Amino acid sequence: MAIQVLMPALSPTMEKGNLSKWLKKEGDTIKSGDVIAEIETDKATMEVEATDEGTLGKILIPEGTNDVAVNTPIATILADGEDASAAASAPAPAKQEKAAESAPPAAEAKSAPALKDEATAPAAPTASIQPDPEIPEGTEMVTMTIREALRDAMAEEMRRDEDVFIMGEEVAEYQGAYKVTQNLLQEFGARRVIDTPITEHGFAGVGVGAAMSGLKPIVEFMTFNFAMQAIDQIINSAAKTLYMSGGQMTCQIVFRGPNGAAARVGAQHSQDYSAWYSQIPGLKVVAPYSAADYKGLLKSAIRDPNPVIFLENEMLYGHSGEVPKLDDYIVPIGKAKVARVGKDVTLISWSNGMTYALKAADELAKEGIEAEVIDLRTLRPLDTDTIIESVKKTSRAVTVEEGWQQSGVGAEIAARIMEHAFDYLDAPVARVSGKDVPMPYAANLEKLALPSVADVVAAAKAVCYR
């Protein structure tokens, strides 16, 4: 029976890719290990090796096809003695359906066209999202992915200021482990785009030392999980030195990289550090959701004279959004945004948590509950005013975070609401969060461990007594 070659998943978060090139043609003999095609994901171009032997029967997806979903049959391989007609009768592998079913929960977040017909609304800007008052009316918008927005922000700041440079693992020649630093090496050269050894504690310290002498480093962590090795330098050296020196020693530095859960990468690669860093005086902590905010806030972070923790989210890197086409688009640190206006309940979140909050707002609207959604964007300094203003209007609040509940950001928000708007509350503040367990690997358990749209909807209804 003919064997189907399926579009492979080449990373934990890949859902589709472009079939850029066939290196074998129909009728060619295939040996196990032969490179048969090249596939381009949003992170890299990868070679596809055959794992079966035989003859390339039929090419089902021609080269140059974009957005081929993972597990789509792309070709058939015929065993000895089979002819091409066998290809037509090749059964679709059961695996395909199963894989789709077990797709990580964060797949809900995707605004990919393939998912448009699903009941859930796309996460990309929709009509319900408020226009940003910081963008002048009539500004031309360009659609770009969040990874491109980050890259453009860094490139613009590096063009603007010779003292800005980037260092980290695989940021230069590899073009970024998540392709965020693509083409920076080509434009700025090896002096300013620096590959480090795998040595987080050491290079964080080197970055802080360089910042103390007046340079403006961007230190990329491949993930913030690895920054735990460097957290002493971030907190004891970067955050505290200005104070300990009576204002003499500045440390203008950005620590950035993906934070929180990706998909199916287990407990040691899935932690959300929002609460950890947001506790530290001396640090600013930024965690945007939209593409425009990623760009405008990273530019602000690079210019900020303080150490800034810039928390990204791997699940969002491939998301596209509209970014203002301005020469110098800046979003100020420390200002939350009302992402959706409502009057019945306030949902407060940031980063990928906004995915759940916005979708929950759509669901709630169907049941006649108008939720106001606040995107914090910055966790330190926390924009208490925007939260309180909203809660005074709605009298109900739900916080949504992927991190753990104990001593979490939601706990802090709940406390501030209690302190500043106690008399306005009609119900206790509810917290939706990651479950109190290390992140499990199994797809079903991982889904259970993360917050869900249903969790947010249930919490919102509970505080509305419905």
Partner 1 sequence: MAAPKKSVAPAGQATSNGATPSSPPDFTRDQEMHALRDMLLIRRFEEKAGQLYGMGAIGGFCHLYIGQEAIVVGMQMALKDGDQVITGYRDHGHMLACGMDAKGVMAELTGRKGGYSKGKGGSMHMFSREKNFYGGHGIVGAQVSLGTGLAFANRYRGNDLVSLAYFGDGASNQGQVYESFNMAELWKLPVIYIIENNRYAMGTSVTRSSAQTDFSKRGISFNIPGEQVDGMDVRAVKAAGDRAVAWCRAGKGPFILEMQTYRYRGHSMSDPAKYRTREEVDKVRHDQDPIEQVRNRLLAADVTEQDLKAIDAEVRDIVNASADFAQQDPEPDASELYTDVYR
Residues of this chain that interact with partner 1 (CB under 8 A) are 165, 191, 196-197, 199, 201-215, 232-233, 236-237, 241-250, 281-282, 284, 305-306
Least separation, in Å, of the C-beta of 177 and partner 1?
Answer: 19
CA distance 172 to 183: 8
Q: Are strands 254-258 and 308-312 parallel, antiparallel or unpaired?
A: parallel
Least separation, in Å, of the C-beta of 165 and partner 1?
Answer: 7
Q: Exactly one of 15, 156, 200, 401 is catalytic; which is it?
A: 200
Distance of CA 58 to the CA centre of its chain: 37
Between 276 and 404, whose beta carbon lies closer to partner 1?
276
Between 346 and 378, whose beta carbon lies closer to partner 1?
378
CB neighbourhood size of 189 (10 A) = 10
Least separation, in Å, of the C-beta of 107 and partner 1?
Answer: 38
Q: Residue 137, by phi and psi: left (phi above 0), alpha (psi -120 to 50) or beta?
A: beta
Query: Which amino acid is residue 258, in one-letter code?
Result: P
Active site residue 420: no
Between 16 and 192, whose beta carbon lies closer to partner 1?
192
Least separation, in Å, of the C-beta of 417 and partner 1?
Answer: 24
To the nearest 10°, report the CA torsion of 305, 182, 179, 145: 80
Between 82 and 304, whose beta carbon lies closer to partner 1?
304
> Longest C-alpha distance within the chain, in Å?
82
Least separation, in Å, of the C-beta of 201 and partner 1?
Answer: 5
Active site residue 200: yes
> DSSP letters of 427-460?
S--EEE---SSPPPSSHHHHHHHS--HHHHHHHH
Between 68 and 286, whose beta carbon lies closer to partner 1?
286
Contact between residue 339 and residue 355 where contact means Cβ atoms under 8 Å apart: no
CA distance 198 to 182: 20
Q: Exactly one of 15, 148, 269, 312 is catalytic; which is it?
A: 269
- Distances 379 to 21, 227, 349, 416 between C-alpha atoms, Å: 44, 18, 10, 13
Between 113 and 381, whose beta carbon lies closer to partner 1?
381
CA distance 278 to 228: 15
Least separation, in Å, of the C-beta of 321 and partner 1?
Answer: 30
Between 237 and 433, whose beta carbon lies closer to partner 1?
237
Closest to 438 measured CA to CA, from 216, 199, 269, 248: 269
Element (H, E) at 357: helix 353-366
Contact between residue 333 and residue 382 where contact means Cβ atoms under 8 Å apart: no
Least separation, in Å, of the C-beta of 306 and partner 1?
Answer: 5
Hey, which residues are catalytic here?
200, 269
